[in-house]
Amino acid sequence: MTNEPQDWLEAELQDSLDEDYELELEDAVLSREIKQIYRDTHPDQMDRKQYFKNLLHLQSELIKLQDWVSHYKEKVVVIFEGRDSAGKGGAIKRITQRLNPRVARVVALPAPSDREKTQWYFQRYVPHLPAGGEIVLFDRSWYNRAGVERVMGFATEPQVEQFFDDVPEFERMLVRSGIRLVKYWFSVTDEEQQMRFLMRIHDPMKQWKLSPMDLQSRVRWEAYTKAKEEMFERTNIPEAPWYIVPGNDKRRARLNCIDHLLSLMPYTEVPHEDIALPERVFNPDYERDVLPRDLYVPQKY
């Protein structure tokens, strides 16, 4: 009997690790040939056991950060930009994996509607900014104008120029309002992006990630590079600098990004009330109804 609580806790921890492993399987559903090519081109990948150990430690710190943000009504915005397939989504998943979605939420806006195209450019992003006690992670952001919209011709050069004039002051306004603004650029090499696109093409569970815009990013690699360089030059302001995350090794990129994000926040432990599970109240007159079988999900597994 004395081992029962320990066995229960062990099962819970194992379930938590299984969740991590399921996320890692996103990188593993590949043909043997593609797997071998990937291993050959990534000989120095971090050991999975070491990766999980570091990830769990950093995620426990993220929970402390979340509690601090919630307790002190802090406002945090984290922007994730970068090359297609550079690993932004994977980093965001690991950051939010164990956090309360009421505190930490992800914003990934679709292409603007006809109505939104007539608005002030930043208008559709403003409603998603955090209130006190919230963390918002933008999976791509207003920097679409400096990147994909510019390269693909969805924005005119005068519109791009107006964006560059406006965005530094817009971000200074956010910072002055009390928002802690962090901007990450995930970077991969030309060869690494090509490898990841080929993996998506050959992986039926990842083909949905390939859009016409993604494929065009291969054709227009140099145009994206020039756009990125000008974006850094004109939007890297002291109040909201850019931070570049080398992304060729996905595991290291995730860990380094989380560790760096934590280092930017002056979070501390916050007081917690002791939690006690109340006793279950039993009503002798209550009898649970027997529900029809067709209401239950079939037990196939």
Q: Does the pLDDT value for residue 27 go beyond 60?
A: no
Q: Does the pLDDT value for residue 25 go beyond 80?
A: no
| Residue found by looking up tokens 């601090």 in the block | 68
102-120 tens-digit pLDDT = 999 999 999 999 999 999 9
Enter the pTM of the model.
0.84
Three-state helix/strand/coil letters over the chain: CCCHHHHHHHHHHHHHHHHHHHHHHHHCCCCHHHHHHHHHHCCCCCCHHHHHHHHHHHHHHHHHHHHHHHHHCCEEEEEEEECCCCCHHHHHHHHHCCCCCCCEEEECCCCCCHHHHCCCHHHHCHHHCCCCCEEEEEECCHHHCCCHHHHCCCCCHHHHHHHHHHHHHHHHHHHHCCEEEEEEEEECCHHHHHHHHHHHHHCCCCHHHCCHHHHHHHHCHHHHHHHHHHHHHHHCECCECEEEEECCCHHHHHHHHHHHHHHHCCCCCCCCCCCCCCCCCCCCCCCCCCCCHHHCCCCCC
CA 225 to mean position of chain CA atoms = 23
241-254 tens-digit pLDDT = 999 999 999 999 99
**Amino acid found at 22:** E
251-279 tens-digit pLDDT = 999 999 999 999 999 999 999 888 898 99
Q: Does the pLDDT value for residue 196 go beyond 90?
A: no
Model pLDDT, residue 201: 73
Burial class (CB in 10 A: 0-12, 13-18, 19+), 221: middle
Check: CB of residue 85 under 8 Å from CB of residue 214: yes
Check: CB of residue 135 under 8 Å from CB of residue 67: no
Q: Does the pLDDT value for residue 140 go beyond 60?
A: yes
Q: Does the pLDDT value for residue 212 go beyond 90?
A: no
